[in-house]
Structure 1
Amino acid sequence: MARFLLSAMPFTGHVTPLLAVAGALVERGHAVRFHTGAAFRARVEASGAVHVPWREAPDFDENDQGATFPRVQGRKGLRQVFINLEDLMIGTAPAQVADLQAEWDREPWDALAADEISVGAALFAARSGCAWATIAVLPLAVPSGQGPPSGMGIMPGRNPLTKTRDAALRALAPLMMRPLTGPLVRARTAVGLAPDPLTFAQTVFSPQRVLASGSPLLDYGRTDRPPHLDFVGVLTQPPSGPAPLPDWWGDLDGRTVVHLTQGTQNIDPSDLLRPALEALAHRNLLVVVSTGVRGRDELPFPVPGNARVAGFLPYDQLLPRTDVVITNGGWGGTLRALSHDIPLVIAGGDLDKPEVAARVAWSGAGVDLRTGTPTAAHVARGFERVSHDPSMRGAAARVGAQLRSEGGAQAAARLLEAFAREA
């Protein structure tokens, strides 16, 4: 038996995949602790892990981040990305280190595994020297010498001009990330580390072990990934049993089903839900909408007769019955859809969403609308392409087969088990 501590920033999209890994480790007989926000305590305990709450670190509500971090209020686009990185990820890191140090002093662990925005976990590993693995729950952002820098939402060039563009952007990437150098140095200094001017990626990706959700087909087929990196497909927990279903579930029978979601972060329904519902209102299909907030089973505007709405839906029961997914491009939901061979229409606006959309479009498994706030006509055109181009469904099936072959949470648990044994 090994002792693991898993750490994830308190966002549903980050906690959920690491909970799958935690559950798989528990099944294999290991002792697992999980450091994250209080809102996830019940889910952590249900996985069999022990919850380690944010105590010194300023816990927050992912659906009301502005209450704790006022600068993120109402921000979108690139400015939002940098404020999120500086205030939420880097700014909370010294207090995360204090939490982890207190838990380490109580009982050390054999290996630490954290998502790639848990700066506190990375700094604690650097300070303590403990074995540390990164579990990448976003599109893989390990620097590469191929294609454009990750995160820009740009597909790799295919001709000399665009390949030159990619090389120029790679050269500029450190300069573009320079606004984070000062905050990272201050965080390092605050926890007693030397003020080394590392980039964000150099800080958060372990040089010892990286497990990446996704697969090579969604990584532009890059061939220069480091040898300590493995793809592990989709990190999901097995269903514990049939989930409660809404009263209208029987309406799916015999229908073409389109699942519509904006995930759990940017959840203003005017961004995507409203125009998509308008685009599909008069079609002979059923639109199943997730609001992204548990218990919020209505939208603040009338919905067409062919739409059904719920806060959260059991994907293990919904996706096998879904023909097309329209989404703002959350990585976890996108991977789950593709693992069921479902093509997508993606309106990726902020954070990692444009990158997700570009990668799916590159694979041929969907349409990138290239905006997070499309018009109804824009959504309709994307839906027509996905619905009538058989090559997209074929590409989704190829990506789905590769994702399933990577092994998921069980494979991640086996790799972490070996990592801890060799540490």
Structure 2
Amino acid sequence: MHLALICPPFKSHIAVFETVGAELVRRGHRVTFVLNAGAERYVTEGFDVCAVEGTDARQMERVIDRASRPSGLLGVLRTVHDTAMLTDALCEHAPEHLRALGIDAVLGDQMEPAAGLLARHLGVPIISIACALPIERDETIPLPFLPWLYDPSPKGIRRNRGGERVSRLLLLEQNRVIRKWSRRFGLGETFHDLQSCLSDVATIAQTTVGFDFPRTSANSRLHMVGPLREEELEEEIPFDVDSGKPFVFMSLGTLQGHRASLFAAAARACRQLDVQLLVAHCGGLDREQVEALGDTWVVDFAPQRAVLARADLCITHCGMNTVMDALEFGTPLLALPIAFDQPGVSARIVHHGVGSRLSTRLATAAKMGRAIGTLLSEPGYKKRAGEIGCTISAAGGLRKAADIIEAAII
């Protein structure tokens, strides 16, 4: 089988699709990334890539830069505009490429509606992948980008419905593009929003039932298999960690690693608490900013899983990969959600009692210090994180995801 991998041009999403694609190749299938032109350079060498016209490298850089610096309502609308533009380009130019490639099925990111539209247009099956929180609706669960806590009461359900009404207004441009291509592809009005473009066969999500909010709507198509990653060889931590002092790891991911003020606040807090801190900024800081931190260790990248296996606390922007890695090792979390589904991930951290959260706008050194001190001193956080971690280890991960994909398309 030849599968098209269609996802947004963000490194974290591409990395997930690379992992799934590599597993499918090992099982005898062929995979080809079908991406907006300009995003092909983010794909690891060795994968086949089809760059779809309508965008270029400079435009892609601007899209990614804007996504890394969301700010207020205008920032949200700008991101919606960018994503709608990417969807429009894929729908306009990708069909001829997919036909020429002889694609048998599509693996599509939940956040790229073009995947669902193109699959239906070509009459091939689609399997959705939720690199972030799954967007399948449940009336008791707030939308993923909202920081609201779980409240299944009538009041909470009314609140969630209000959030959905606001969301529809914010996503008008994206929804117009979806409806336009649904009509042009001869699909009528069937496809009108992101939810309608999801697979009607299977969705694979990187979260687990144990970490998600309780769902009241049964959905046999939603498979929460946990992190989609390769089994890694054990790595040594290249730092001389003092076992007599608490050890904290901080990462804000590849898009938010430039936020020097948050790293600085954490560094001051850890110095005051006499806590060891490792900052991994993913290339987001320059030399001056690194030197100004004066932390125990500051690096571009660190062997994250090895570090989290040793860490007493993880300070995170609530990217799904980092959160799942931390919880698998029973490491509590201090959540600093910034954008996308990160507020929703932080709400689940609070709901399950595996950490606490701070607003990035109010995250002073003093507030971080109090939060870090509490998380390190109260053993309940670590205990509950370990319990969630057991659900991650048992969820099936990459191998189960590949089994589901094969069962759906063969």
TM-score (norm 1): 0.86
Q: Answer with 363-372 or 136-145: which moved more.
A: 363-372
Identity of aligned residues (%): 21
Q: Retained in 1: the 8 A contact 2:228–2:398?
A: yes
* Residue 407 (structure 1) aligned with residue 400 (structure 2): no
Match of 1:267 among 243, 248, 257: 257
Q: Retained in 1: the 8 A contact 2:33–2:50?
A: yes
Partner SS state of residue 200, structure 1: coil
CA distance in structure 1 between the partners assigned to 2:180 and 2:84 by the alignment: 12
Partner SS state of residue 250, structure 1: coil
Which aligned pairs between 1:19-418 and structure 2 lie closer than 5 A?
A: 19-36=18-35, 37-41=39-43, 43=44, 45=46, 49-59=47-57, 64-65=62-63, 75-87=70-82, 89-157=83-151, 163-171=154-162, 173-189=164-180, 192-193=184-185, 196=189, 200-239=193-232, 249-252=238-241, 254=243, 256-293=246-283, 299-300=289-290, 302-304=292-294, 306-371=295-360, 373-418=362-407
CA distance in structure 1 between the partners assigned to 2:242 and 2:51 by the alignment: 43
CA distance in structure 2 between the partners assigned to 1:199 and 1:174 by the alignment: 15
Structure 1 residue 117: Cα displacement:
1.3
Q: Answer with 307-316 or 77-86: which moved more.
A: 77-86
| 1:102/1:237 CA distance change after superposition, 3 Å | farther
C-alpha distance after superposition, 1:46-66 (max 9, x if no partner): xxx422234434446877537
Q: Which amino acid aligns with 2:80?
A: L
**Runs of 5+ in structure 2 lacking a partner?**
none
Aligned length: 404
Q: Which amino acid aligns with 1:357?
A: S
CA distance in structure 2 between the partners assigned to 1:266 and 1:204 by the alignment: 29
| 1:168/1:355 CA distance change after superposition, 3 Å | closer
Structure 1 residue 301: Cα displacement:
5.2
Q: Which amino acid aligns with 1:406?
A: A
Structure 1 residue 242: Cα displacement:
5.7
Q: Retained in 2: the 8 A contact 1:354–1:370?
A: no
Partner SS state of residue 226, structure 1: coil
CA distance in structure 2 between the partners assigned to 1:74 and 1:294 by the alignment: 12
Partner SS state of residue 298, structure 2: strand
Q: Retained in 2: the 8 A contact 1:34–1:44?
A: no
Q: Which amino acid aligns with 1:206?
A: S
Q: Retained in 1: the 8 A contact 2:6–2:108?
A: yes
Q: Retained in 2: the 8 A contact 1:57–1:96?
A: no
CA distance in structure 1 between the partners assigned to 2:317 and 2:24 by the alignment: 31
| 1:111/1:15 CA distance change after superposition, 3 Å | same
Q: Which amino acid aligns with 1:287?
A: L
| 1:125/1:60 CA distance change after superposition, 3 Å | farther
Q: Which amino acid aligns with 1:173?
A: E
Q: Retained in 1: the 8 A contact 2:279–2:297?
A: yes
TM-score (norm 2): 0.89
Partner SS state of residue 114, structure 1: strand
Q: Which amino acid aligns with 2:127?
A: A
Structure 1 residue 135: Cα displacement:
0.3
Structure 1 residue 98: Cα displacement:
4.2
Q: Retained in 1: the 8 A contact 2:260–2:289?
A: no
Partner SS state of residue 302, structure 1: helix
Structure 1 residue 412: Cα displacement:
0.7
Structure 1 residue 143: Cα displacement:
1.0
Q: Which amino acid aligns with 2:171?
A: L
C-alpha distance after superposition, 1:4-35 (max 9, x if no partner): 11122111221122222112112222111123
When the two chains are superposed, the root-mean-square deviation of aligned CA atoms in Å is 2.8
